[in-house]
Amino acid sequence: MNPSKQLAPELLSGSQVLIEALERNGVKQIFGYPGGTIMPVYDALVGSTMKHYLCRHEQGAALAADAYGRVTRKAGVCMATSGPGATNLVTGIANAFMDSVPMVVITGQVPSALQGTDAFQEVDIFGITLPVVKHSYIVREIADIPRIVDEAFQLAENGRPGPVLIDLPKDISAGTGAAVHMPLAPLPAAPDPDASTLQAASDMLSKARRPLVIAGGGIAISNSVEAFRRFAERTAVPVTTTLKGLGIMPADAEGYVGMLGMHGNGAANHAVQNCDLLMVVGARFDDRATGHLAQFAPSARVIHIDIDAAEISKLRKADVAIVSELAPALDGIRPQHKANTGWRAQCAGWTREFAWRYDAPAKGIYAPKLLRDLSRVQPAGMITTCDVGQHQMWVAQHCSFDDPLQHLSSGGLGTMGYGLPAAIGAKVAKPEATVLCVSGDGSIMMNVQELATLKRYDIDVKILLFDNSALGLVRQWQEIFFDGNYSEVHLSDNPDFAGVARAFGIQARSISEPDEVSGALDWLLKSDGAAMLHVAIDSMENVWPLVPPGKPNHKMMRSNPDKAR
Amino acid sequence: MYHSLDIRLSASEGAVIRTLGLIERRGFSLGKCSISEAGSNGRSMQLTVASSRSGDLLKRQLQRLHDVHSVELKPAVSIQKSPGIRPINRRT
């Protein structure tokens, strides 16, 4: 806007000051939903350089902003009104918090004088979100807005990223005042890794007989994939990844043993249980990755590298801890020789032994094989978003990614309903990329209203919907761990999903036979604009392997204990 | 295990509840708590907390908060047992 405003501040509304501050911070797109107390901001938004995407539920807006933040590594911005608008954002905020995603959240609030009086659409969103934000503000003075907005972006994007909430009472957004922008001092840079600690880590790697690296989501967040690949090639240490680390190593890279954890690859879980040194990079020992923690990697000493000091020795004691940016630490760890060839051969043997098989005698279409086939024909750089459940694990197991930012999955929070809004956020952030949402019949219904957003803005998202007429992962657990006592998991009365898509103006096809897969995938990927491919699959199909809860990772179940598959 | 904490934090709205909330959420029960103004734009908070979890880890978790300026974790030997609190025994 007019630069002279910075020289001689004139009276502006709080909303105008906010819009200017967002524009100054480089915001190009906002995901949101208007309502009572945020109306002054929507009034000021008209004529702004920013494009607003009206999602059809605030949760959709927050999850779209999450994916936007993951893909761009800049804070995605979402906005909603007070009360239910704000509470509907909470799942998206928690999702971003758990997966360390930069996000700036703006909520309307009732006027300051009414706060604390149980006013219409008043909730203490500041209090509600305290456990799931990196930081948060309630704006009390118009003059504070430029600083608060600048700080919010700075905090959201620097160090370990996360969501920052700005709660804006209506008397502030509608009131007028003067606000001068004063540039913020930069945050102190993360310390360089300490030379003696790097040496200690190098020595441990040199002495290890069976070293293994766990590569986590922090590597993608900190843009350290290339540094990591240099390290892996230089040291030849076998690598496993977490769910959020998928894509850090090409799927067929030498020494890569796949994803570890509850539904990880057997090679990864055997390598981790047998290693004598575990170097953990940008990962946090999540229980879905470790299985029974006390029996996790029982013979291993641990090198833990993370930018967040609070992750060190939180769950597993680190013998050497490096708190720094990941790339300089990876570049600075220099073992005297490459990893032991015998150990590498053992890992390669496990990789062969536990290679995925696609000859399972499934009834109808076998989802893992479809996903493997899709990976072979997908356009370069395709971004895949997932919902949560069996299909999410099949994507993790059977799709291949050249870069972790091509796989957007709700890892920490496990948010059913993430996939479709995430695909919207990803496509808006990166319009040149093909964006595929892989969903399930349970998850899609959590945010199905966002089909309207696809149509409204002509957002080209391809939806691959696996429909097993069940909440499949819950059904699987009930089958295995609750003696087949199925409780509230049957969805045999699902709507006609292709018909639902068409009702929203989205083209759709349904398939149920294996010989239809190839042509249907071709149709989906080449269709002009948004499209849905609905795929009926066997409702009794399970995700294998499975590490039962409370068991160590090598005690994987590879099939149903009671039935031969 | 009992720990004594001396925390300097900003006077920002919500800073106290944010700090106390983190302590309880991370598995520490709160005992004595005294808050006073410190300097032109700050507060000082003296706490006794109890948990089976590591006080050093709690210190690093507190240091992540933008509102927290400094955390001093005092050695357990100098702590008077607070009658009102029992250690939270949570599996990690």
**Superfamily (CATH) of domain B2-76:** ACT domain (3.30.70.260)
Task: Please report the pLDDT score of residue B42 as a whole number.
Answer: 94
Task: Tell me, yes or no, whether A1 lies in a domain.
Answer: no
Task: Tell me, yes or no, whether A565 lies in a domain.
Answer: no
| Cα–Cα distance, A103 to A156 (Å, whole number) | 6
Contact B13/A314, CB-based, under 8 Å?
no
- A130 to chain B, any CB pair closer than 8 A? The answer is yes
| Cα–Cα distance, A215 to A239 (Å, whole number) | 7
Which residue type sits at B73?
A: L
What's the half-sphere exposure (Cβ side, CA atoms, 13 Å) at A147?
14
The answer to whether the CB of A283 falls within 8 A of the CB of A245 is: yes
- Domain shared by A317 and A375, yes or no: no
Of the candidates B14, B21, B60, the beta carbon closest to that of A309 is on: B60
Task: Please report the pLDDT score of residue A191 as a whole number.
Answer: 84
The answer to whether the CB of A282 falls within 8 A of the CB of A241 is: no
For residue A375, the enclosing domain spans 367-536
- Domain shared by A372 and A505, yes or no: yes
pTM for the full model? 0.95
Counted domains in chain A: 3
| Cα–Cα distance, A309 to A288 (Å, whole number) | 21
User: Which CATH number covers residue A86?
Assistant: 3.40.50.970
The answer to whether the CB of A49 falls within 8 A of the CB of A71 is: no
Count of Cβ atoms closer than 10 Å to residue A89 Cβ: 32
Which residue, A169, A60, A130, A86, is CA-closest to A428? A60
Count of Cβ atoms closer than 10 Å to residue B30 Cβ: 15
Cis amide bond preceding A545, omega within 30: yes
Contact B14/A138, CB-based, under 8 Å?
yes
Task: Tell me, yes or no, whether A3 lies in a domain.
Answer: no
Closest alpha carbon within chain A to B23: A131
- Domain shared by A483 and A339, yes or no: no
| Cα–Cα distance, B14 to B10 (Å, whole number) | 10
Terminal C-alpha separation, chain A: 66
Which residue, A69, A91, A65, A68, is CA-closest to A78? A65
| Cα–Cα distance, A354 to A269 (Å, whole number) | 10
Q: Render each residue's pLDDT in chain A as its tens digit; 565 residues.
A: 455 445 556 799 999 999 999 999 999 999 999 999 999 999 999 999 999 999 999 999 999 999 999 999 999 999 999 999 999 999 999 999 999 999 999 999 999 999 999 999 999 999 999 999 999 999 999 999 999 999 999 999 999 999 999 999 999 999 999 998 999 999 888 889 999 999 999 999 999 999 999 999 999 999 999 999 999 999 999 999 999 999 999 999 999 999 999 999 999 999 999 999 999 999 999 999 999 999 999 999 999 999 999 999 999 999 999 999 999 999 999 999 999 999 999 999 999 999 999 987 678 999 999 999 999 999 999 999 999 999 999 999 999 999 999 999 999 999 999 999 999 999 999 999 999 999 999 999 999 999 999 999 999 999 999 999 999 999 999 999 999 999 999 999 999 999 999 999 999 999 999 999 999 999 999 999 999 999 999 999 999 999 998 899 989 998 876 554 3
Task: Tell me, yes or no, whether A544 lies in a domain.
Answer: no
Q: Per the structure block, which two tokens stand in for A315?
A: 């769950």
- Domain shared by A412 and A455, yes or no: yes
- Largest Cα separation within chain B, whole Å, is 41
Interval B59-79 mean pLDDT: 87
| Cα–Cα distance, A526 to A539 (Å, whole number) | 29
Cα A332 to chain centroid distance, Å, stands at 29
The answer to whether the CB of B45 falls within 8 A of the CB of B23 is: no
Q: Does the structure's ipTM exceed the value 0.85? A: yes
Task: Please report the pLDDT score of residue A26 as a whole number.
Answer: 98
Task: Tell me, yes or no, whether A545 lies in a domain.
Answer: no
- Domain shared by A211 and A290, yes or no: yes
Task: Please report the pLDDT score of residue B76 as a whole number.
Answer: 60
Indicate the pairing of strand A29-32 with strand A383-386: unpaired
- B64 to chain A, any CB pair closer than 8 A? The answer is yes
- B60 to chain A, any CB pair closer than 8 A? The answer is yes
The answer to whether the CB of A81 falls within 8 A of the CB of A146 is: no
- Domain shared by A327 and A407, yes or no: no
Q: Per the structure block, which two tokens stand in for A362?
A: 């499934």
| Cα–Cα distance, A318 to A233 (Å, whole number) | 24
Task: Please report the pLDDT score of residue B92 as a whole number.
Answer: 46
Residues of A in contact with B64 (CB under 8 A): 160, 308-310
Task: Please report the pLDDT score of residue B78 as a whole number.
Answer: 47
- Domain shared by A313 and A390, yes or no: no
Count of Cβ atoms closer than 10 Å to residue A432 Cβ: 6
Contact B25/A126, CB-based, under 8 Å?
no
Q: Where are the alpha helices (DSSP H) in A222-359?
A: 225-235, 266-274, 287-290, 326-332, 341-353
Question: Using the 8-state DSSP alphabet, how is residue A249 labeled?
Answer: S
The interface residues of chain A toward chain B in range 156-215, judged by CB-CB distance below 8 A, are 160
Which residue, A436, A420, A236, is CA-closest to A341? A236
- Domain shared by A410 and A323, yes or no: no
Task: Tell me, yes or no, whether A484 lies in a domain.
Answer: yes
Residues of A in contact with B25 (CB under 8 A): 131
Residues of B in contact with A293 (CB under 8 A): 92
For the four alpha carbons of A193, A194, A196 and A200, in that order, the dihedral sign comes to negative
- Domain shared by A235 and A259, yes or no: yes
The answer to whether the CB of A384 falls within 8 A of the CB of A399 is: yes
Mean pLDDT of chain B: 88
Which residue type sits at A553?
A: N
Contact A310/B60, CB-based, under 8 Å?
yes
- Domain shared by A228 and A85, yes or no: no
User: Which CATH number covers residue A274?
Assistant: 3.40.50.1220
Secondary structure of A18-48 in HEC code, one letter for each residue:
HHHHHHHCCCCEEEECCCHHHHHHHHHHCCC
Q: Where are the alpha helices (DSSP H) in A35-131?
A: 39-45, 58-72, 84-98, 125-128
Closest alpha carbon within chain B to A124: B14
The answer to whether the CB of A322 falls within 8 A of the CB of A191 is: no
Residue A478, SS3 per DSSP = helix
What are the structural domain ranges in chain B?
Answer: 2-76
Residue at a domain's end among A150, A177, A204? A177
Count of Cβ atoms closer than 10 Å to residue A480 Cβ: 16
Task: Please report the pLDDT score of residue A363 as a whole number.
Answer: 80
Q: Would you list the DSSP string of A492-553?
A: TT---HHHHHHHTT-EEEEE-SGGGHHHHHHHHHHSSS-EEEEEEB-TT---SSB--TTSBT
Task: Tell me, yes or no, whether A359 lies in a domain.
Answer: no
Q: Which residues contact A553 (CB under 8 A, 6 or more apart)?
A: A260, A261, A264, A269, A272, A273, A290, A291, A296, A547
Closest alpha carbon within chain B to A286: B92
Terminal C-alpha separation, chain B: 15
- Domain shared by A372 and A316, yes or no: no
Task: Tell me, yes or no, whether A550 lies in a domain.
Answer: no
Contact B21/A135, CB-based, under 8 Å?
no
The interface residues of chain A toward chain B in range 310-369, judged by CB-CB distance below 8 A, are 310, 312-315
Of the candidates B13, B64, B66, the beta carbon closest to that of A310 is on: B64
Contact A313/B54, CB-based, under 8 Å?
yes
The answer to whether the CB of B46 falls within 8 A of the CB of B8 is: no
